[in-house]
Amino acid sequence: MNRIEELFQRKQRNVLNVYVTAGYPNLNDTITIMQALEANGADLIELGMPYSDPLADGPVIQQSSSIAIANGMTIETLFAQLKDLRNSVSVPVILMGYMNPVLQYGFEKFCADAAAVGVDGLILPDLPEYEFETEYGAIIKQYGLDFIFLVTPETSEERIKKLDSLSSGFLYAVSSSSTTGGDKAFSPVQEYLQRLQSYHLHNPVLVGFGVKDKASFEAAAAYSNGAIIGSAFIKSLDGAADVTAATKAFLSSVLH
C-alpha cells in the first residue's frame, strides 16, 4: 500500500492538500515549507515544478513560477533538494507540472528519479488521456507512481468514469471552469460534487481551484474527501520573512 492509499484509508473526510511552487519564494525553501506544511496539518503536499507557460494556472502561480525559475529552480535541482525528503517528511507528495520540462528531462528518467526520492504521484494537466493510454501511463505505473486526472463541471459522466478508471490515488475535481486562483466566488458547487458522489467513483475526490480559506475549504470538503489550496497559500508566502511561521499562520487560519 502506498502513502496516498494509506492516507485515504485512515482519513476519508476533510483531507487537506496544499500546493506550493518548488523554489518559491527562495530556491532553498522547498523542504522547509514542506516540513512546516506537515507539522501544521496538511495531509498531502502538491509540489509545483515551475514552467514558463503554465496554461492551467492563473497569475499568482505563474508569478511564483517565474520567481522560482529566476531563483534557478529546475527539475534536476528539485530532485537534489528532495534527495533526503523521506528523512523529514512523511505525508504523501505529488509533483505537479507541465509536460514540456518533463519531456526535456526525459519522461522515464523523471519517473524513476521521482520514485527514488519518495514521490507518490504525478499531476500533469496537459498530458492528455490519449497520450497517457498509448505511451506514458505504462511508464508511470512501472515506477509505482499514481497519476491524477482532472475533471471539471463540464466533463461528461462517461468521461469522468473513464478518467477515474485511468487515475489512481485520487481524482482532482476542478470546482469551476477557471484557471487557478480565480476570483470567481467559490460557490459550493454542491450539485456538481453530489453528482460526482453519485457515480460511486473508484478514487477519492479532492476539490481544487477557488478553495482559499476555512469557509471554502469546508464547503468543498462537505461533498468530497477534501480539498486543495494553492494560490491563496502562495499569496501568503509573498514577502514572508519566515516561511515556517507564514505556513503555520496560513494553515491555522484554514483549519482552526
Partner 1 sequence: MTTSYKQPNAQGYYGKFGGAYIPEMLHQNVEELRTRYLDIMYEAEFQKEFQQLLRDYVGRPTPLFLAERLSKEFGATIYLKREDLCHTGAHKINNTVGQILLAQRLGKKRIIAETGAGQHGVATATVCALKGLECIVYMGEKDIERQAPNVARMKMLGAKVVPATSGSKTLKDATNEAIRDWINNPNDTHYIIGSVVGPHPYPDMVARFQSVISEEIRQQLKAKTGSELPTHVMACVGGGSNAAGAFYHFVDEPTVKIVAVEAAGHGVNTGMSAATTALGTPGILHGSKSLLMQTADGQVVEPHSISAGLDYPGIGPMHANLFDTHRGIFLSATDDQALEAAFHVAKTEGIIPALETAHAFAVIDQLKLSSTDVLVICLSGRGDKDLATYMNHM
Residues that bind partner 1 (CB under 8 A): 51-53, 55-56, 58-59, 62-63, 66, 69, 74-76, 98-105, 125-128, 130-131, 149-152, 154-155, 159, 163, 174, 177-179, 182, 184
**Of 11, 13, 5, residue with least CA distance to 217:** 13
Task: Find residue 122's DSSP bridge partners.
Answer: 95, 147
Q: Does residue 57 have an active-site annotation? A: yes
* C-beta neighbour count of 114 within 10 angstroms: 25
C-alpha torsion 130→135→139→141, nearest 10: 30
Query: Shortest Cβ distance from residue 148 to partner 1 (Å)?
Result: 11
Beta carbons within 10 angstroms of residue 126's beta carbon: 15
Taking the complex as a whole, the smallest distance from the CB of residue 52 to partner 1 amounts, in Å, to 4
CB contact at 8 A, 192 and 222: no
Q: How far is the CB of 100 from partner 1 (least distance, A)?
A: 5
Smaller CB separation from partner 1, 11 or 99: 99
Q: Is 46 a catalytic residue?
A: yes
Catalytic option among 46, 113, 120, 146: 46
Q: Please pick, among 29, 38, 43, 57, the residue that the annotation labels catalytic.
A: 57
CB of residue 149 to partner 1, shortest distance in Å: 7
> Read out DSSP for 11-63?
--SSEEEEEEETT-SSGGGHHHHHHHHHHTT-SEEEEE---S--TTS-HHHHH
- Pick 209 or 233: Cβ nearer partner 1: 209
Residue with cell 516561511: 243
Closer residue to partner 1, CB minimum distance, 5 or 126: 126
CB of 79 to partner 1, least distance (A): 12
Residues 25 and 243 sit within 8 Å (Cβ to Cβ)? yes
Between 117 and 150, CB nearer to partner 1: 150
Residue with smaller CB distance to partner 1, 70 or 249 = 70
Q: What is the Rg, in whole angstroms, of the alpha carbon atoms belonging to the chain?
A: 17
| H and E: helices and strands count for the chain | 14, 9
Interaxial angle between packed helices 243-255 and 214-222, expressed in degrees from 0 to 180 and rounded to the nearest 10: 50
Query: Among all residues, which ones are annotated catalytic?
Result: 46, 57
